[in-house]
């Protein structure tokens, strides 16, 4: 059974947003918690999860979400596409593959960012963690993407840069592909046991071979 659908994580896979997330987190922490070192490195270990879930895990105030989101919007112009991603998406669509995004961000924020970067139209659906009952590492968001794309689990793959992406893909029964070109913890991601590992976006075409969806 060939691949007919690809579900992408957003941050660290399609966009390089690490510096923006760091700045937004620092500002939100100072505004809500107060002075002192903001534990961004710990926050970074939980990326892929929904922001309120990370706050609960870290024991930080949920009130940090409002300034974090505000600053993320303000700084969005600093978010960049990873090199080769725009061309890759065009090639995938040309091959007839159906594409979706399943992200730890909220849906509105993810769609606004991809619209600003002028690539939102490559995807049939951009799904945020606020749009499913149970966000990653649960499989809900990937299963919803498969339903939208009209693909069976055996016909799809999930590409992510976090352990939660691998877990979500596994739970949904799709091929779990690790993206290594961002700021991910490589050892931790490999330990999660992805089915495939990519070190650049263009390597995805090699993984697909000459396959064209029909």
Rounded Cα distance between 55 and 47, Å, is 11
Q: For position 51, what pLDDT does the model report?
A: 94
Rounded Cα distance between 174 and 100, Å, is 14
Q: For position 210, what pLDDT does the model report?
A: 65
pLDDT tens string 28-58? 999 999 999 999 999 988 988 999 999 999 9
Q: Return the beta strands (E) in the chain as ranges.
A: 5-8, 15-16, 80-81, 98-102, 125-127, 156-160, 175-179, 196-198
Q: Extract the tokens encoding 96.
A: 């007839």
Contact 172, 142 (CB under 8 A): yes
Q: Extract the tokens encoding 184.
A: 């991910």
Rounded Cα distance between 89 and 2, Å, is 18
pLDDT tens string 10-31? 999 999 999 999 999 999 999 9
Residue 198 clears pLDDT 80, i.e. is over it: yes
Q: Extract the tokens encoding 41.
A: 């490195």
């Amino acid at each position: 059974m060939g691949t007919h659908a690809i579900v992408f994580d957003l941050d660290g896979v399609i966009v390089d947003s690490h510096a923006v997330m760091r700045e937004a987190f620092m500002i939100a922490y100072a505004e809500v918690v107060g002075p002192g070192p903001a534990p961004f490195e710990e926050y970074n270990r939980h990326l892929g999860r929904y922001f309120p879930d990370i706050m609960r895990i870290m024991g930080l105030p949920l009130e940090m979400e409002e300034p974090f989101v505000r600053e993320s919007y303000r700084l969005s112009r600093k978010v960049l596409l990873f090199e080769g991603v725009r061309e890759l998406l065009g090639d995938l669509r040309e091959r007839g593959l159906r594409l979706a995004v399943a992200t730890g961000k909220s849906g509105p924020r993810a769609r606004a960012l991809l619209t600003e970067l002028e690539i939102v139209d490559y995807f049939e659906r951009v799904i945020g963690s606020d749009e499913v009952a149970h966000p990653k590492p649960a499989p809900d968001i990937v299963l919803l993407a498969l339903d939208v794309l009209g693909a069976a689990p055996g016909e799809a793959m999930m590409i992510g840069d976090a352990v939660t992406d691998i877990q979500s893909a596994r739970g949904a029964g799709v091929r779990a592909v690790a993206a290594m070109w961002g700021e991910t913890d490589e050892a931790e991601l490999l330990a999660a046991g992805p089915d495939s590992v990519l070190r650049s976006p263009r390597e995805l075409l090699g993984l697909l071979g000459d396959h064209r969806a029909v």
